[in-house]
Structure 1
Amino acid sequence: MYSKQESAQLKQQFWTAFGQYMQPVLSAEGERINWINYKTGEKDIYFRMQADNKKAYIAIELTHKDAGLQALYYEQFEQMHALLSNALNEEWTWQLHTNDEQGKCISRIYTELYKVSIFKREDWPLLISFFKPRITALDEFWSTAKHVFETLR
């Protein structure tokens, strides 16, 4: 078991290593990008990557405070389901109006990897192999899809 400080330090070391690994990878539009803190350019639409001592996940999270607006954005993603699935080359789990870890109502499109731990350095290659193709596929999808969401602003 790790102390809170040791846990935070290991997480920071992993994300720093992942960021360094991803640094030479350009976005779908050929630009340098901060893959760890991916900016969609749309308020309340996030691409999140998380890992803990049991699993990892990557997600599109819709965090609009207005449930109706959140549902509208979710529906827009549903209309682009085929485009997203083709970019990802896999199916993800879709959840409209669920709660995040803090109890906040969000909608989420995600996939998970089980039986990995960010606290085990030997799992880091698995985590990197899980995150890299998915975050770059999300970027590829977003380079095409983001224009649709601009009209919803």
Structure 2
Amino acid sequence: MYSRSEASRIRAEFWITFGQYMKPVPNAQGRRINWPNYRTGVKHIYFRMKAESNFASIGVEIAHKDEELQELYFMQFKELGNLLKNTLGEEWDWKLHAVNEVGQTVSKIEKVRSGVNVMEESDWSEIISFLKPRIVALDEFWDNVKPGFED
């Protein structure tokens, strides 16, 4: 068992390592980007990557406080579902109005990898190998569809 500060330090170390690994990878427009803190540029839409003690995940999170507007964004993504699936090369889980870890109602499109532990440095390469192609593919997808979400 790790103390809170030790667990926090290990997680921070992982994200620094991930950032260093991704640093030479340009975004879809050929620019340098801070991959661990990806900014979609659209309020209430986030690309979230997590690495925990029993899973890693990546996804799109729609966090608009107005649940009707949140659903509208979600349906926009649904309409682009085939493009998203083709860009990602796999099916992701779609969750309308789920509750996140801080009790907010959000909608998610995500992929989870069970059986990995960010606390074990030996799992880091597996977690990075899970996250890297998916965040790059999400960026490519977003580069194509972002204008439709900007209003």
Fold match, TM over 0.5? yes
Displacement over 2 Å in runs of 4+: none
1:103 Cα deviation after fit: 1.0
Question: Is 1:51 the equivalent of 2:51?
Answer: yes
Scaled by the length of structure 2, the TM-score of the pair is 0.99
Matching residue of 2:113: 113
Identity across matched positions, percent: 50
Matched position secondary structure for 1:41:
coil
Q: What is the correspondence of 1:134-149 to structure 2 with a 5 Å cutoff? A: 134-149=134-149
Match of 1:81, as an amino acid? G
Q: C-alpha distance in 2, partners of 1:26/1:69?
A: 32
Matching residue of 1:73: 73
- Unpaired segments of 5 or more residues in structure 2? none
Corresponding residue pairs, total: 151
Q: C-alpha distance in 2, partners of 1:46/1:35?
A: 12
Q: C-alpha distance in 2, partners of 1:139/1:59?
A: 11
- Unpaired segments of 5 or more residues in structure 1? none
Please tell me the root mean square deviation across aligned C-alpha atoms, in Å. Answer: 0.5
Q: C-alpha distance in 2, partners of 1:105/1:6?
A: 30
1:100 Cα deviation after fit: 0.2
Q: C-alpha distance in 1, partners of 2:54/2:21?
A: 23
